[in-house]
């Protein structure tokens, strides 16, 4: 049995004091969590402060992006070692906002996945189709291309810890959520593609999170799907009460 993961992607929200308060509330509300993992991804500037808050908690910490070079003349970039140094153990890679707004490509995603893995960070690789692509019945092709592209440089061992997040772009921040049937369908396809990339059987242990308008009132039905192994939550992760309800799904 895989341990479900409930992850909060804070995006570009919270200055330090707000981040500390939100992280503390989530840590306090997660002390009773068993059989599932909780993770939050604040902005880079809050990672170190939030790491201190989480030190004695069972909440995991992630960055929202990284750059693949170790060091050097790359103004504005953050390396995997810098992220490790804050205490974070995970990193989100290839979020659709980065793909759509900041020129992220299959090439850059692949470099980042391998750099994260090489530095001991667990990559959370995001994939997902736009509304136009879904309407054109391209969903499975798009997701497969993003997986194959993003994982083309990944070492075999990377698949032992890899986490994938399926986030249909049309569902992110829109209040539209994929139905459990839609999510399950794509997640099943993702696992089939992973089976062709990973060593035999490893794909069965790769967690596939669903993301896109996950809320307290839809988490239970999404988590009932056999291939939905957790959630990546944006907006609803910024309110401790909502996120903690998501963390305590089906309880
Ligand atoms: P949302 O964002 O929950 O606000 O739709 C999800 C995400 O982008 O990870």
pLDDT at 28: 98
Predicted TM-score (pTM) of the model is 0.98
Give me the catalytic one of 97, 129, 153, 167: 167
Active site residue 95: yes
Do residues 187 and 231 lie in contact, with contact meaning Cβ atoms separated by under 8 Å? no
Give me the catalytic one of 37, 90, 95, 189: 95
Rounded Cα distance between 225 and 157, Å, is 27
Rounded Cα distance between 49 and 37, Å, is 21
pLDDT at 216: 97
Question: What mean pLDDT, rounded, does the chain reach?
Answer: 97
Over range 52-81, report the average pLDDT: 98
Q: Show the domain range for 174.
A: 5-187+195-247
The residues, ordered by sequence, that sit 6+ positions from 24 with a Cβ below 8 Å of its Cβ are 53
**Tens digit of pLDDT for each residue in 89-137?**
999 999 999 999 999 999 999 999 999 999 999 999 999 999 999 999 9
Which of 208, 235, 238 to mutate to test ligand 1, by most ligand atoms within 8 A of the CB atom? 235
Phi, psi of 241 (to 5 degrees): -60, -45
Whichever domain contains 88, its CATH number is 3.20.20.70
Q: How many domains does the chain have?
A: 1
Q: How confident is the model at residue 1 (pLDDT cuts 50, 70, 90)?
A: confident
Q: Which of 65, 160, 153, 159 is nearest to 111 (CA)?
A: 153
Active site residue 187: no
């Amino acid at each position: 049995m895989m341990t479900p993961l409930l992850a909060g992607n804070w995006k570009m929200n919270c200055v330090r004091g707000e981040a500390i308060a939100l992280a503390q509330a989530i840590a306090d509300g997660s002390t009773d969590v068993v059989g599932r993992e909780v993770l939050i991804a604040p902005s880079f500037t809050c990672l170190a402060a939030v790491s201190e808050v989480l030190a004695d908690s069972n909440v995991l910490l992630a960055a929202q992006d990284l750059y693949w070079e170790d060091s050097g003349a790359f103004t504005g970039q953050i390396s995997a070692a810098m992220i490790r140094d804050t205490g974070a153990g995970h990193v989100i890679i290839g979020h659709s906002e980065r793909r759509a707004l900041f020129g992220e490509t299959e090439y850059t995603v692949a470099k980042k996945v391998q750099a994260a893995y090489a530095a001991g960070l667990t990559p959370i690789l995001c994939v997902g189709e736009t509304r136009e692509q879904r309407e054109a019945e391209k969903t499975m092709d798009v997701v497969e291309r993003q997986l194959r592209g993003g994982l083309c440089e990944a070492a075999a061992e990377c698949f032992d810890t890899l986490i994938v997040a399926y986030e249909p772009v049309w569902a992110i921040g829109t209040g539209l959520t994929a139905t459990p049937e839609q999510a399950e369908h794509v997640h099943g396809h993702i696992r089939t593609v992973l089976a062709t990339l990973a060593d035999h059987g490893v794909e069965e242990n790769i967690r596939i999170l669903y993301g896109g308008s996950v809320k307290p009132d839809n988490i239970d039905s999404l988590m009932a799907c056999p291939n939905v192994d957790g959630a990546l939550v944006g907006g609803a992760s910024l309110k401790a009460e909502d996120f903690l309800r998501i963390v305590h799904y089906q309880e």
